[in-house]
A and B are shown apart, each in its own frame.
Chain A
Amino acid sequence: MEKDRLPGYRGSAREILSKAGASVGDRVAIVLTDGGRVEGTLMPRYELADDRHIVVKLDNGYNIGVRVARIQSIEVIARRTLPTPVRAPPPEIRAKERVVILGTGGTIAARVDYVTGGVTPVFTPEDLYALVPELSDIARIETHLLFNIFSENMTPQHWSRIAEATADAFRQGADGVVIAHGTDTMGYTAAALAFALRKLPGPVVLVGAQRSSDRPSSDAATNLIAAVYTAARAPFAEVVVAMHQTRSDTAIAIHRGTRVRKLHSSRRDAFKSVNAPPLAVFEKGELTLLTQDYRARNSDPPEVDARFEPHVALIKFHPGMPPDILEYLHDRGYRGIILEGTGLGHVNVSWVDTLRRLTKDMLVGMCTQTIWGRVNMRVYSTGRLLLQAGVIGLEDMLAETALVKAMWVLAHTDDLEEAKQLMLTNFAGEISERLIE
């Protein structure tokens, strides 16, 4: 399929450009109805903008919009000839460790075309070494692009594919795997991989960027350096997330995949470990473990079990909410519900009857919408009633992690009792016996 020569243009703007035979990148001369004249390079149109303007880049580098209604004529003066890029020669790779980087979306590296303003994600090892030269001292990199989607569009099927590809990478000899991922649902994927990768020989590090990687201030490069270093050299064999620890570029936190949540829409340090400290911190070129309690690197072959039951829902309770949403889900065949209750794990007492019925063939687990803290339904009567009604308290597990775990557990058993037991078994650090903060 031929690439669109007028990307973003529609309606009268597209018409007038097509008639002139112009393509984005061509040098055009526009004569206006009042005698004025604009000359420059034709630019693509922003997708949400109207169809009544065309965009031209002037010789001083600035873009301006010209109203179609004011255009008398457009002439193409010169076609764009794409010069061949001159790339720096690949650096000497001094490191020995092999790291595979799987791409799923989210741009960790990009180049800018200053002519059209286009930002092109780059993903080959040569490009990554060129844009982040520090990597050549850290690992030998291989890259595989699995797919390229916004992480909000991911589904459990994507988690399964990532898990399989990760296991494959280890089987082919990788010392560690890095997964480039959009930040929006990175926490969910991390939890999914923690459960799906039953046996791991080395680290699996998810990494993303809060600031687009085309800009000089992007956190992508520093996060990537930490991620690759961790994958290459960390002593643990766990699924983790590598993102900025603070608003400064100095330290990257390595969070356990089952413990991490995105807690800010835009800040670099959006990701925090909840109810637990991070596993490690990467600072000044070194990785410092914050605990000695981790699964160590080993030479066992990886084992994947990436089945997820998609019919599990996460419901956030609010005052006045009627319980009929639960009936609706039950009738649609949902096998599990994770509730984000209030406080220690409460919902309106009017829900108890509905829950008593539903828990006969559905798994219902309780987390807290306070995000932090442990659920304890034995303290207040509401909680006790909910326990009697068959709801299980999920300790200090993050609600999002509980959702993913429930999807995994329910794909492996039909026995509700076994499911409840599995939910309360600590597989990958998602439950802790002690909370100290």
Chain B
Amino acid sequence: MSQQLDYKALGLRVGLEIHQQLATRHKLFCHCPPTLTTRQPTTTIYRRLRLSESELGEIDPAALLEFKKGRIIEYVCEPGTACLVEQDEEPPHPINPEAVHYALVIAHALHARPVDEIHVMRKIVIDGSNTTGFQRTCIVALGGYIRVGDKTIPIQTICLEEEAARKIGERPGVVTYALDRLGIPLIEIATAPVIESPEECLRVALAIGRLLRLTGFVKRGLGTIRQDINISIRGGALTEVKGVQELALLPKVVEFEVHRQLHLIRLAEELQKRGANPEDVRSKLTDVTDCFQDTKCRVLHRAIKRGERVYAICLPKFAGLLGLEPYPGVRLGREIAAYVRVESGIPGILHSDEIRKYGVSDSEVVAVQRALHCSDQDAFIVFTAPDPETAQRAADAIVKRAKQAIQGVPEETRAARPDGTTEYMRPRPGAARMYPETDIPPYPVTDEAWQRATSYSIPTWDEAVEQLIKEFDLNKQLAEQLLDSPYMDVFKAAVRIGAPPRFTASFLTERLVALKKEGVAADQLSNEQLIEILKLLAEGRIPKDGCLALVRYLAEHPSTSVEEAVVKLGLQMLSEEEVRRIVSETITQNRDVIERRGERAVSAFMGMLMRKLRGRVDPRLLRQLVEEEVRRALTQ
């Protein structure tokens, strides 16, 4: 389906921005521990963020969009992981010197030059993910490079900034954020846009990610590292894609984006060829509810029953172009639907290219066309809305996107989806709205501080692999997988309490990955849960294959504790006494086997008992006991 594209010829340019959480003792601007909480929230605070107008009367388009949504932001927190600073009820504490030190170490490792004085800035963000309405961020170093293969990738900036609050819910009019994550120190490494292929993007991200992991002071685990990319092709537009969490997804995302931009370029060409004109796309709403009074289309029927009205808009000369899908997920109709959803909250639209698939009849289509005064050369979009204001917002969004479609590719900020597609999130923000954080004085980078940073020794990849092989008697493949995995900390903790290293390494890497491929949500388990499972193994209370069974169960029953799961699965290992009792009972009940087979009865009983007791007894112990009991039975 996807033909191999010539990325160089297309002028593909990708810049990578890696955000990595640091494992400092406390957060960047306060003394809370930098961890996510498992406890229930004890405090709920409701806020609204107001738009700030600049001196020039300019209003940032992304910020304006958020403000128009007029949403209430609900912040929840508990005292172990958020304080008054996170609640925006206390000024920030001085910048965490440990975080600055780590940032300087990384700067040195990337051959960058530190700034002489660090100035913390306020970067306006009003979607609610920062309680203050801005993110505190600062540049620590400029310039630098990393060699990937035989290419030198320039690093533009290395910044230190605070993580955002964690979005945990959304309902009409309210968005909910947890404050535990807010303020965790993040290091941001931005490359120059010199990456030229999806595969190169993966290699560069892996190289930087590995370097970060080798320092030993970054957090591990899901969500502790995020990749954003800036991507454009010749004739396209600079698009920011945020939040690629899994490395493996990067090439897919790049490929998707290239196909998407290519498609939009071709659509624009086609539209212009057809004589489409942005002036002809009008946001005047037409109420077409009457056309659908007896519709068989379930979506529309249900909406009408709810009391909503059905609206339609004509897109002149767009016929056939909304549903065209040259690559999975690449479709103008999908783009328009996203704009409608973001700007009006209306969850979906129907368009003329596909509307019949949803049960709309030919006569209904004709009725709509007549109401809109549009022909078969034109496309139309139909949607339902609970009130005229929302409908108008949706119409404005459709018209905005349609006009852009005639001209080419709009500049956007998009979100990466777990399937490798991207989705419109918001317009690209204007020039970063940043001004100094005057509550924090400038922080000079002294010669001593830089000296300390440069003398921090980071092992090379090969050294780190060697170290693991030697210390834990692992093979090279396992060692490398472990170094790349999010579970390095879990491994170290488990081995410290006696878990067998080779099994543990394989379990945390290959086995969990295999489970995920099966569709088991193994990454939902916390590090604590995994360590607990390995602890049970170390104590001999569960057998090795019990570990995977537990992961499977806990992924499906997330509110169960590990202990409860052990009981539920009947995994508890039997004591030697219990085994002996079961063996002798079985033998007593099956004397005929002894009579017939004599000594060879042992294998028959092993078969019977392994089937019954699999996973709850060490096979060697079982064999020993069966042999003893059979011998005893024979001598009786």
Are B52 and A214 in touch, CB under 8 angstroms? yes
Are B117 and A64 in touch, CB under 8 angstroms? yes
Does A85 sit at the interface, judged by CB under 8 A? Answer: yes
- Among A49-57, A143-151, A313-321, the stretch that binds chain B is A49-57
Min C-beta distance of A363 to chain B, whole Å: 39
Are B132 and A217 in touch, CB under 8 angstroms? yes
- Contact check: which of A111, A118, A216 meets B126 at CB < 8 Å? A216
Does A425 sit at the interface, judged by CB under 8 A? Answer: no
Does A120 sit at the interface, judged by CB under 8 A? Answer: yes
Q: Is the interface of B mostly helix, strand, loop or mixed?
A: loop
Does B138 sit at the interface, judged by CB under 8 A? Answer: yes
Does B134 sit at the interface, judged by CB under 8 A? Answer: yes
Return the chain B residue nearest A69 by Cβ: B116
If A70-B116, A86-B57, A218-B50 touch, whether A61 touches B133 (CB-CB below 8 Å) is: no
- Contact check: which of A49, A58, A131 meets B53 at CB < 8 Å? A131
A-B pairs with beta carbons under 8 Å apart, 24 shown: A43-B436, A46-B441, A61-B121, A61-B123, A61-B432, A63-B119, A64-B139, A67-B117, A86-B57, A111-B53, A111-B55, A114-B433, A117-B435, A120-B55, A214-B52, A215-B132, A215-B133, A216-B51, A216-B126, A216-B133, A246-B45, A266-B84, A266-B90, A266-B91
Return the chain B residue nearest A62 by Cβ: B139
Min C-beta distance of A210 to chain B, whole Å: 8
Does B108 sit at the interface, judged by CB under 8 A? Answer: no
Chain A contacts with B in 48-83, Cβ cutoff 8 A: 48-50, 53, 55, 58, 60-67, 70, 83
Does A267 sit at the interface, judged by CB under 8 A? Answer: yes
Are A87 and B57 in touch, CB under 8 angstroms? yes
Does B1 sit at the interface, judged by CB under 8 A? Answer: no
Contacts of B131 on A, CB cut-off 8 Å? Answer: 217
- Among A197-205, A247-255, A273-281, A323-331, the stretch that binds chain B is A247-255
Does B404 sit at the interface, judged by CB under 8 A? Answer: no
Which of A61, A63, A246, A268 has most B Cβ within 10 Å?
A: A63
Docked Cα-Cα span, A118 to B55, in Å, equals 9
Min C-beta distance of B208 to chain A, whole Å: 19
Docked Cα-Cα span, A61 to B122, in Å, equals 10
Chain A contacts with B in 104-126, Cβ cutoff 8 A: 111-115, 117-120
Are B434 and A64 in touch, CB under 8 angstroms? no
Chain A interface (Cβ < 8 Å from any Cβ of B): 36, 43, 46, 48-50, 53, 55, 58, 60-67, 70, 83, 85-88, 111-115, 117-120, 130-131, 211, 214-218, 221-222, 246-250, 266-268
Contacts of A55 on B, CB cut-off 8 Å? Answer: 117, 119, 442
Are A85 and B52 in touch, CB under 8 angstroms? no
Which of B49, B50, B142 has most A Cβ within 10 Å?
A: B50
Are B434 and A114 in touch, CB under 8 angstroms? yes
If A112-B55, A113-B54, A216-B51 touch, whether A62 touches B119 (CB-CB below 8 Å) is: yes
Are B55 and A113 in touch, CB under 8 angstroms? yes
Docked Cα-Cα span, A83 to B58, in Å, equals 12
Are A46 and B438 in touch, CB under 8 angstroms? yes
If A87-B57, A131-B53, A216-B124 touch, whether A268 touches B134 (CB-CB below 8 Å) is: no
- Contact check: which of A46, A60, A222, A268 meets B89 at CB < 8 Å? A268
Return the chain B residue nearest A112 by Cβ: B435
Contacts of A216 on B, CB cut-off 8 Å? Answer: 49-52, 124, 126, 132-134
Docked Cα-Cα span, A211 to B91, in Å, equals 9
- Contact check: which of A130, A215, A266 meets B134 at CB < 8 Å? A215
Docked Cα-Cα span, A66 to B442, in Å, equals 11
Are A130 and B117 in touch, CB under 8 angstroms? no
Does B388 sit at the interface, judged by CB under 8 A? Answer: no
Contacts of B143 on A, CB cut-off 8 Å? Answer: 36
Contacts of B115 on A, CB cut-off 8 Å? Answer: 64-66
- Contact check: which of A49, A62, A249 meets B442 at CB < 8 Å? A49
Docked Cα-Cα span, A86 to B59, in Å, equals 11
Docked Cα-Cα span, A216 to B129, in Å, equals 12
Does B266 sit at the interface, judged by CB under 8 A? Answer: no
Return the chain A residue nearest B54 by Cβ: A114
Chain B interface (Cβ < 8 Å from any Cβ of A): 43, 45-57, 84, 87-91, 113, 115-119, 121-124, 126, 131-134, 137-139, 142-143, 157, 159, 431-436, 438, 441-442, 444
If A117-B435, A216-B132 touch, whether A266 touches B49 (CB-CB below 8 Å) is: no
Docked Cα-Cα span, A62 to B159, in Å, equals 10
Min C-beta distance of B23 to chain A, whole Å: 25
Are B124 and A49 in touch, CB under 8 angstroms? no
Min C-beta distance of B173 to chain A, whole Å: 13
Contacts of A267 on B, CB cut-off 8 Å? Answer: 84, 89-90
Are B435 and A221 in touch, CB under 8 angstroms? no
Count of chain A to chain B residue pairs whose CB atoms are closer than 8 Å in the complex: 141
Contacts of A214 on B, CB cut-off 8 Å? Answer: 52, 435
Are B46 and A249 in touch, CB under 8 angstroms? yes
Are A53 and B57 in touch, CB under 8 angstroms? no
Q: A-B pairs with the 4 shortest C-beta distances? A: A65-B117, A216-B133, A61-B432, A67-B116
Are B139 and A58 in touch, CB under 8 angstroms? yes
Docked Cα-Cα span, A130 to B88, in Å, equals 25
Docked Cα-Cα span, A216 to B66, in Å, equals 12
Min C-beta distance of B56 to chain A, whole Å: 5
Are B49 and A217 in touch, CB under 8 angstroms? yes
Contacts of B52 on A, CB cut-off 8 Å? Answer: 111-112, 214-216
Contacts of A58 on B, CB cut-off 8 Å? Answer: 139
Docked Cα-Cα span, A216 to B432, in Å, equals 15
- Contact check: which of B48, B55, B434, B438 meets A61 at CB < 8 Å? B434
Docked Cα-Cα span, A216 to B67, in Å, equals 10
Min C-beta distance of B451 to chain A, whole Å: 15
Are B442 and A65 in touch, CB under 8 angstroms? yes
Are B116 and A64 in touch, CB under 8 angstroms? yes
Contacts of A115 on B, CB cut-off 8 Å? Answer: 55
Docked Cα-Cα span, A112 to B87, in Å, equals 23
Are B46 and A250 in touch, CB under 8 angstroms? yes
Min C-beta distance of B86 to chain A, whole Å: 12
Contacts of A62 on B, CB cut-off 8 Å? Answer: 119, 121, 137-139, 157, 159, 434
Are A217 and B139 in touch, CB under 8 angstroms? no
Min C-beta distance of B557 to chain A, whole Å: 36
Contacts of A50 on B, CB cut-off 8 Å? Answer: 444
Contacts of A130 on B, CB cut-off 8 Å? Answer: 53
Return the chain B residue nearest A110 by Cβ: B52
Min C-beta distance of A135 to chain B, whole Å: 13
Min C-beta distance of B534 to chain A, whole Å: 42
Contacts of B431 on A, CB cut-off 8 Å? Answer: 61, 114
- Contact check: which of B50, B116, B157 meets A65 at CB < 8 Å? B116
Docked Cα-Cα span, A16 to B118, in Å, equals 21
Return the chain A residue nearest B435 by Cβ: A117
Add 4 more A-B contacts to A66-B116, A67-B116 (CB < 8 A).
Answer: A62-B159, A114-B431, A215-B132, A250-B46
Docked Cα-Cα span, A62 to B115, in Å, equals 11
Are A65 and B119 in touch, CB under 8 angstroms? yes
Min C-beta distance of B108 to chain A, whole Å: 16
Docked Cα-Cα span, A75 to B126, in Å, equals 37
If A46-B436, A112-B55, A247-B45 touch, whether A65 touches B118 (CB-CB below 8 Å) is: yes
Docked Cα-Cα span, A64 to B47, in Å, equals 32
Contacts of B118 on A, CB cut-off 8 Å? Answer: 64-65
Docked Cα-Cα span, A58 to B131, in Å, equals 26
Are A49 and B441 in touch, CB under 8 angstroms? yes
Are B50 and A221 in touch, CB under 8 angstroms? yes
Return the chain B residue nearest A58 by Cβ: B139
Contacts of B54 on A, CB cut-off 8 Å? Answer: 111-114
Docked Cα-Cα span, A43 to B435, in Å, equals 11
Contacts of B116 on A, CB cut-off 8 Å? Answer: 53, 64-67, 70
Docked Cα-Cα span, A50 to B57, in Å, equals 33
Which of A46, A66, A217, A249 has most B Cβ within 10 Å?
A: A217
Min C-beta distance of A340 to chain B, whole Å: 26
Docked Cα-Cα span, A346 to B34, in Å, equals 47
Docked Cα-Cα span, A86 to B433, in Å, equals 17
Min C-beta distance of B75 to chain A, whole Å: 9
Are B55 and A217 in touch, CB under 8 angstroms? no
Docked Cα-Cα span, A310 to B18, in Å, equals 61
